Structure 1
Amino acid sequence: MNNEVAKSDSVMFNNSLISADDALAFLLDSSIAASRIEVVSLDDSLDRVLAGNIQSTINVPGFDNSAMDGYTIALDDHQVSQKNLVFNVVDRIPAGSTGNELKMGCAARIFTGAPIPKGANTVVMQEECQLSKDGTQILIERPIKLNENIRPIGNDITKDGIILSKGRKIQPQDISLAASVGIGNLEVFKKIKVGVFFTGDELVEPGNSLTPGKIYNSNRYALVALLKQVGCDVINLGNIEDKLKATCDALESLSNQCDLIMTTGGVSVGEEDHVKPAVEKLGELNLWKIRMKPGKPLAFGKVKQVPFIGLPGNPVSSFVTFCIFSLPFIKKMQGNSHYESKIVKVKANFECKRAKPRREYARVQIDNSSETLLANLYPKQGSDVMSSVVWADGIIEIPEDTVFEKGTILNYYPMNELTR
């Protein structure tokens, strides 16, 4: 197998920094959409991705029906737009039953959702109808028009129409819509399996005591939680021995079980780490240095044809690069047609007096008190300050090589969109 890194003159993989846009475009071009399909019940379909278009086999509603409680009337042509009309009440039609045919000039008590009987051509709400003491007649003082308050057949959905499109991530309202046309099962793409492991003699599991020089392995828990939240099945090998053979064994094991392999830390150029040589031994590794902050180092490659993504080691860098790069890659792999991150335009409630060479993804909170959304910076933006991510509503994009005043419109990524 050819383990060479891409040619040194490649804009993607030479020693110069590449733009975040170029890195993301390359990742998305490299992401292959899911093809494996399974059938699940409506109860098990939430947050799954549709593997094909869903067509309705029926009209909804399947019959003309009343939009409210009131009286349905067989209005004669000469009665249209007339005032102070009296009608004989000859029937009562609750939802779920079918009334008798109405003769011209007659009315029937009707309830919301009940079928419009043959001969009837309008519905007047009960509040506008004066019922006689014996309940046999109604008086309507205002002018009446044809087809008032009638939901026509197919008003919501027409037979053979597409109600849900391939690549849609299924939400509760989608499940309701499918159920409304009698569909009980949906074809969805199978969940992708993501394998993870972590190396580093300095890492200690939470719950244990720290000794000098040790740190808690927070990235392990962040990455697994992020992957599960976006609907991946996770195979987690946990911490493995920090040796080349153990790393190769972990990669080989995951390559036989997974659709994607991810790690955090230890793959940036020049680091003494076993992940880089292990990936190169089993496949190929393309090391990137992206013109961004936080998160300059990012690795992408393959282990026996299984995609590999190595995130930076600093906790904020790892989190941000997952959100900006890995999540769109994963969504496309899942077959999701909406894999690109949602961008909202907001006003910066801060200024930038000095142009910076790298694009910054800063943690901000949004002030909703004004007409335009205002973004406020967290005071500490270091790649080690994970509390900034917990505090933030989202991430704002500060363009490279740019100065701006307070009030400038910038791109903003809501946190709830970046992690789902």
Structure 2
Amino acid sequence: MAQLSEDTFAFGGPLMSIEQAADLAGQRIRPVEGTEQVALADADGRVLASDVVAGLDLPPFANSAVDGYAVRFVDLASAGETRLALSGRLAAGADAAGIATAGVAVRVFTGAPIPEGADTIFMQEDVTAEEGFVRLPAGLKHGANARPAGEDIAHGETALSAGRRLRPQDLALLAALGHASVDVRRRPRVAIFSTGDELAEPGLPLPPAAIYDANRAALRAMVARAGADVVDLGILRDEPGSLAGRLREAARGCDLILTSGGVSTGEEDHVKAAVERVGALVFWRIGIKPGRPVAMGVIEGVPFIGLPGNPVAVFVTFAFVARPVVARLAGAAHVAPVPLPVRLGFPYLKKPGRREYVGVSLTPAADGVMIASKHAQDGAGVMTSLTRTEGLVELAEELTRIEAGTLVPFLAYDLLMA
């Protein structure tokens, strides 16, 4: 478990960019300790604990990329057609030992080993077959259609580097190298909770003047997708004394404490007082909308992040502020998603000095460029601005008026939560 000092998140600047927030968290938070061996079947999304060095060539032997005929290039005529006798037949998995290749052609199939001496393969559709012979056209390059041993990865080469969050294609590579299991980092344990006397648990009757707790449902899923184990503390009531005790208890069993709401300076924002009772709290004024100051703190050496209370602001600030912290704790190399350009389908006014994110849907224009259309309502509490759109357009800090037709960056929700 990472042990941080109480001034870990101190920041002296007046307004922090999203990149500064991610970089600062990355510098000041250490990955959790501990590794484990897991089967490949359970390794998707886990973070690789150490470099994987190839213990064999991939492919491990020279093989044919096509169905056809293997020959020695030196046996081909310098000009015109070549006629060679057939000698042998090799399918995938067959043993090529002892098969002659000098002055002859060998029938091979895709994946079959290339017999010693042969180095070039003609595709069967380019060859004229006769009884016991084949006629080979001129013009084929030396080495055509032959996969040499180690073409993909050579023995001793680093196949995958530590810190990589494993994907299906990575698992395929590990399997091809003969690995049935892999060494991965322990998942961080992230405690989440909601506070408020007005909150009710979904599935239960809704009392008067109450609302169902939506933010915790989103945070559970986002934390899990970020590669951490969720410790759900449920709904904590607005009682400063009990809140402080639950925070201290969570810090002793988790690597990060994450919540939404309750950390402003109002009289009913009891999380702020509870954190300050058992640890330290600072506010990062991040130039982002939707959102507001994000609370960063330390409780008994464990980092605490307090996100805004509105659900759209929770989604956005988690994606750009909290997710890099979770990735760092997991030992992963967090890579910011790369946006794609789309054409804004509406004019937009904004204040300078902050980056704004607006939920949009996309439709193709006649020239193939996607046009971004804004949801009818886009307040920080309007959840349908997320559920009825496909992603966010990113409007830079220096912009104040963006005209319809302007090309702007677009980030799909799937990319933000990948």
Aligned match of 1:11: 12
The alignment-based identity, stated in percent, is 37
Of 365, 384, 388, 1:391 maps to: 388
Aligned match of 2:215: 219
Deviation above 6 Å: which 4+ runs of structure 1?
1-7
Amino acid at match of 1:334: A
1:312-331 paired onto structure 2 within 5 Å? 312-331=308-327
Deviations along 1:358-394, one digit per CA (max 9) or x if unpaired, are: 4322111233444333322212111110011111221
Q: Note the C-alpha offset of 1:343.
A: 3.1
Amino acid at match of 2:32: A
Aligned match of 1:246: 242
* Aligned CA distance change for structure 1 residues 170 and 368 (closer, same or farther; 3 Å): farther
* SS in structure 1 at match of 2:403: coil
Aligned match of 1:287: 283
Q: Note the C-alpha offset of 1:190.
A: 0.8
Q: Distance in 2 between matches of 1:25 and 1:237?
A: 29
* Aligned CA distance change for structure 1 residues 378 and 69 (closer, same or farther; 3 Å): same
1:264-413 paired onto structure 2 within 5 Å? 264-353=260-349, 355=351, 358-369=354-365, 370-400=367-397, 402-413=400-411
* Aligned CA distance change for structure 1 residues 310 and 36 (closer, same or farther; 3 Å): same
Q: Note the C-alpha offset of 1:142.
A: 3.9
Amino acid at match of 2:292: K
Aligned match of 2:161: 165
* Aligned CA distance change for structure 1 residues 87 and 22 (closer, same or farther; 3 Å): closer
* SS in structure 2 at match of 1:411: strand
Q: Note the C-alpha offset of 1:355.
A: 4.3
2:48 is the alignment partner of 1:54: no
Normalised by the length of structure 1, the TM-score is: 0.90
2:190 is the alignment partner of 1:194: yes
Contact 1:102 1:120 in 2 (8 A): no
* SS in structure 1 at match of 2:402: coil
Deviations along 1:18-68, one digit per CA (max 9) or x if unpaired, are: 554544443333332334222212111111111222110111122221111
Q: Distance in 1 between matches of 2:411 and 2:348?
A: 19
Aligned match of 1:255: 251
* SS in structure 2 at match of 1:374: strand
* Aligned CA distance change for structure 1 residues 323 and 262 (closer, same or farther; 3 Å): same
Aligned match of 1:184: 180
* Aligned CA distance change for structure 1 residues 120 and 27 (closer, same or farther; 3 Å): closer
* Aligned CA distance change for structure 1 residues 120 and 276 (closer, same or farther; 3 Å): same
Q: Note the C-alpha offset of 1:322.
A: 0.9
Q: Distance in 1 between matches of 2:142 and 2:297?
A: 67
5+ residue gaps, structure 2, are none
Contact 1:75 1:104 in 2 (8 A): no
Aligned match of 1:82: 79
Amino acid at match of 1:254: A
Amino acid at match of 1:200: G
Amino acid at match of 1:87: L
* Aligned CA distance change for structure 1 residues 186 and 416 (closer, same or farther; 3 Å): same
Contact 1:80 1:145 in 2 (8 A): no
Q: Distance in 1 between matches of 2:410 and 2:175?
A: 36
Q: Distance in 1 between matches of 2:234 and 2:159?
A: 43
* Aligned CA distance change for structure 1 residues 399 and 136 (closer, same or farther; 3 Å): closer
* Aligned CA distance change for structure 1 residues 408 and 33 (closer, same or farther; 3 Å): farther
Q: Note the C-alpha offset of 1:138.
A: 1.7
Q: Note the C-alpha offset of 1:301.
A: 0.2
Q: Note the C-alpha offset of 1:288.
A: 3.4
Aligned match of 1:95: 92
- Worse-superposed segment, 378-387 or 337-346: 337-346
Q: Distance in 1 between matches of 2:146 and 2:19?
A: 52
Q: Distance in 1 between matches of 2:174 and 2:117?
A: 32
* SS in structure 2 at match of 1:365: strand
Q: Note the C-alpha offset of 1:357.
A: 5.8
Of 121, 126, 129, 1:128 maps to: 126
Q: Note the C-alpha offset of 1:285.
A: 0.7
Deviations along 1:316-359, one digit per CA (max 9) or x if unpaired, are: 11111111211112112211113434333333222235645643
Deviations along 1:222-272, one digit per CA (max 9) or x if unpaired, are: 111111222211111111232122211211111111000011111012342
* Aligned CA distance change for structure 1 residues 320 and 131 (closer, same or farther; 3 Å): same
1:28-39 paired onto structure 2 within 5 Å? 28-39=26-37
* SS in structure 2 at match of 1:392: coil
Amino acid at match of 2:211: I
Q: Distance in 2 between matches of 1:144 and 1:400?
A: 57
Aligned match of 2:67: 69
* Aligned CA distance change for structure 1 residues 279 and 248 (closer, same or farther; 3 Å): same
Q: Distance in 2 between matches of 1:103 and 1:211?
A: 85
* Aligned CA distance change for structure 1 residues 45 and 3 (closer, same or farther; 3 Å): closer
1:110-121 paired onto structure 2 within 5 Å? 110-121=108-119
Q: Distance in 2 between matches of 1:6 and 1:418?
A: 24
Q: Note the C-alpha offset of 1:291.
A: 3.6
1:147-158 paired onto structure 2 within 5 Å? 147-158=143-154
Q: Distance in 1 between matches of 2:267 and 2:289?
A: 19
